[in-house]
Structure 1
Amino acid sequence: MVKKIKPWFGFTEDKVFGMVMENKDFCKYLLEIIIPDLKIKKIDWLDKQVEINNSERKNEAKEVRLDVLVTDHEGRVFNIEMQTTDQDDIGRRLRYYLSRLDLRYTLNKGKTYRNLKDAFIIFLCNFKPKKDDKFYESHHTYSDQDRSKQLQDGVTKIIINSQVSAEGQREELKALAKLMNNEPVKLNKHFDYAQRRIKEINEDPEMREKIMLYETRMLEREQAAGKAGYEQGMQHGIKQGLEQGKIDSAKIILENQLNNGSTLTQATEFVRNLKLIPNEKLEKIIAMYDSHKN
């Protein structure tokens, strides 16, 4: 009997990321090492997997699911996102996430724009970088005519990619990169906690089942959204389009599993268990992946 190989769910897996980050002490520490100039006394509120929709355009506006949403003692809002797949839209994705955040959290009714809360959008990325990408990049709004003039809009966007060399960075950020890359970290109690929690999650059959179920549900939602789009205006070729969508989804999940530290065998087994596509199509994907790798 062939022994079933279990994939490892690392820090970059959505559910694991949320379960590790729900610890306010660790979340506060992570924010402090990413934005060291901020003095965060305490985190007032933290939530994970938050869905933000525009009720007035419920059937039109794209829904947003925020990985981790935090407010601190000064009312500043932090959205921390894990990104494992490069869809070449990170700038526009940042823009849309910020717009949904402003819609719900940064300005209370009856207040003026002067009361708009500072917002920080942090993308933790774990995918192959482009040639000019840096490990740590912070973005603000500047004048095209005078780069020394910054528009005081209260927005900071930060992108960290653990697949770029962290050479020259602070030890804490190097440790964060290792955690994202499923490498052992020996630095302090905060990273000890994160690694211990990840290990607990992977050793808990019930937790693993929840992660598998979550992955499947997310996939079903994507497929349902794709089906609805076809039904609205693309009747021709629906069947072929949906089949291709399943193949594309399988490729993305396989890549995510590999980024999360699984071996190719473990990642293959994980995708096979989801039963998205026939085994022969999955084998073709694996063969293509092997040929590109070699």
Structure 2
Amino acid sequence: MVKKIEPWFGFTEDKVFGMVMENKDFCKYLLEIIIPDLKIKNIDWLDKQVEINNSERKNKAKEVRLDVLVTDHEGRVFNIEMQTTDQDDIGRRMRYYLSRLDLRYTLNKGKTYRNLKDAFIIFLCNFKPKKDDKFYESYHTYSDQDRSKQLQDGVTKIIINSQVSAEGQSEELKALAKLMNNEPVKLNKHFDYAQRRIKEINEDPETREKIMLYETRMLEREQAAGKAGYEQGMQRGIAKGKQEGLKQGVARGLEQGKVDSAKIILENQLNNGSTLTQATEFVRNLKLISNKELEKIIALYNSHKN
């Protein structure tokens, strides 16, 4: 009898990342090796899997679920995210996450903008990089006319991609890359803890079941989004056909409905974490439209993106 091979849930798995990072000592250590100049004394508050919504726009504003949210002894806010799929939208994603943080956490009512807390958005990425990507990149706001002039907005954005060579980086960051790549790390007690915790999670049947249930729910959500997109597109197409008032128009509307469905499903797939290649393959397998029509949609998407 062939023994079933169970999947290994590593550091980059959504739930595992949160469980490892809930240890304040490890979280503080990780921030220290990523931003060593800050000299963080202690973490005053930590939460994971935080959903930030605007109650005034709950039906319109996109929900944000932050992986790890931390403040330190000076009130600085740190958002640490694990990204395993390339949406080609990291910059805009960081912008939106920051806007939600500012709305909820960085400025108390009655305070002036001078009291706005410093914010750090950190993305730990584990996907195929582009040619010019570096292992560690930090971003600030500079003048287009004078690069030596920095706008003091209190915002730092950092992107680390473990799939890029960490040559020239500190031993700690090299160890972080190994941890993200499911490679053994022998460096210090902090990485010993992380690897031990990951092993405990994988060896606990109840925890594994919860992780698998979570991933199943994410898949179901993705499939539900596809179904909703199909139905929405079909209704839109039928409405167009009825407006034309002819059988030919209805038929044409139905065909257009399939195209609209494909567009909506593709967009839903992208919004739920799929790459463009994965989303395209998902739509193609539904066989709603011809490959030629699908290619037109992809071409239109790329033209809008550029």
TMscore range, shorter length: 0.7 to 0.9
> Which position in structure 1 is the counterpart of 2:290?
278
SS of the aligned residue for 1:47 comes to strand
> Which position in structure 2 is the counterpart of 1:194?
194
Q: Which has the larger radius of gyration?
A: 2
**CA distance 1:212–1:129, change in 2 (3 Å):** same
Q: Is the 8 A contact 2:233 2:264 kept in 1?
A: no
Q: Is the 8 A contact 2:233 2:260 kept in 1?
A: no
> Which position in structure 1 is the counterpart of 2:129?
129
User: Which protein is richer in helix relative to its size?
Assistant: 2
Deviations, residues 16-57 of structure 1 (Å, cap 9, x unaligned): 000000000000000000000001110000000000111111
Q: Is the 8 A contact 2:67 2:79 kept in 1?
A: yes
**CA distance 1:274–1:15, change in 2 (3 Å):** farther
The structural deviation recorded for 1:281 is: 21
**CA distance 1:287–1:89, change in 2 (3 Å):** closer
Q: 2: distance between equivalents of 1:17 and 1:108? A: 30
Q: 2: distance between equivalents of 1:263 and 1:59? A: 26
Task: Tell me the TM-score normalized by structure 1.
Answer: 0.80
Aligned residues: 293
> Which position in structure 2 is the counterpart of 1:103?
103
The structural deviation recorded for 1:232 is: 5.0
> Which position in structure 1 is the counterpart of 2:245?
none
- Comparing 227-236 with 274-283, which one deviates more in the overlay? 274-283
CA RMSD in angstroms comes to: 7.3
Q: 1: distance between equivalents of 2:61 and 2:300? A: 36
Q: 2: distance between equivalents of 1:187 and 1:246? A: 55
**CA distance 1:31–1:249, change in 2 (3 Å):** farther
**CA distance 1:64–1:245, change in 2 (3 Å):** farther
Q: Is the 8 A contact 1:6 1:270 kept in 2?
A: no
The structural deviation recorded for 1:229 is: 4.9
Which consecutive residues of structure 1, in runs of 5 or more, have no partner in the other structure?
Answer: none
**CA distance 1:203–1:253, change in 2 (3 Å):** farther
Q: 2: distance between equivalents of 1:252 and 1:182? A: 35
Q: Is the 8 A contact 2:68 2:81 kept in 1?
A: yes
Q: 1: distance between equivalents of 2:265 and 2:8? A: 13
Q: 2: distance between equivalents of 1:202 and 1:276? A: 40
- Comparing 266-275 with 178-187, which one deviates more in the overlay? 266-275
Q: 1: distance between equivalents of 2:256 and 2:152? A: 45
Q: Is the 8 A contact 1:7 1:270 kept in 2?
A: no
Q: Is the 8 A contact 1:76 1:117 kept in 2?
A: yes
- Comparing 167-176 with 2-11, which one deviates more in the overlay? 2-11
Q: Is the 8 A contact 2:222 2:269 kept in 1?
A: no
The structural deviation recorded for 1:287 is: 26
Which consecutive residues of structure 2, in runs of 5 or more, have no partner in the other structure?
Answer: 239-251
The structural deviation recorded for 1:217 is: 1.8
- Comparing 34-43 with 280-289, which one deviates more in the overlay? 280-289
**CA distance 1:117–1:206, change in 2 (3 Å):** same
The structural deviation recorded for 1:223 is: 3.6
Q: Is the 8 A contact 1:181 1:261 kept in 2?
A: no
**CA distance 1:218–1:262, change in 2 (3 Å):** closer
- Identity over the aligned pairs, expressed in percent? 95
**CA distance 1:279–1:61, change in 2 (3 Å):** same
Q: Is the 8 A contact 1:13 1:260 kept in 2?
A: no
Deviations, residues 170-224 of structure 1 (Å, cap 9, x unaligned): 0000000000000000000000000000000000000100101111222233344
Q: Is the 8 A contact 2:11 2:198 kept in 1?
A: yes
Q: 2: distance between equivalents of 1:233 and 1:128? A: 33
Q: Is the 8 A contact 1:8 1:262 kept in 2?
A: no
The structural deviation recorded for 1:254 is: 18
**CA distance 1:154–1:263, change in 2 (3 Å):** closer
Q: Is the 8 A contact 1:53 1:63 kept in 2?
A: yes
**CA distance 1:291–1:71, change in 2 (3 Å):** closer
SS of the aligned residue for 1:137 comes to strand
The structural deviation recorded for 1:4 is: 1.6
SS of the aligned residue for 1:105 comes to helix
The structural deviation recorded for 1:75 is: 0.4
The structural deviation recorded for 1:280 is: 23
Q: Is the 8 A contact 1:26 1:190 kept in 2?
A: yes
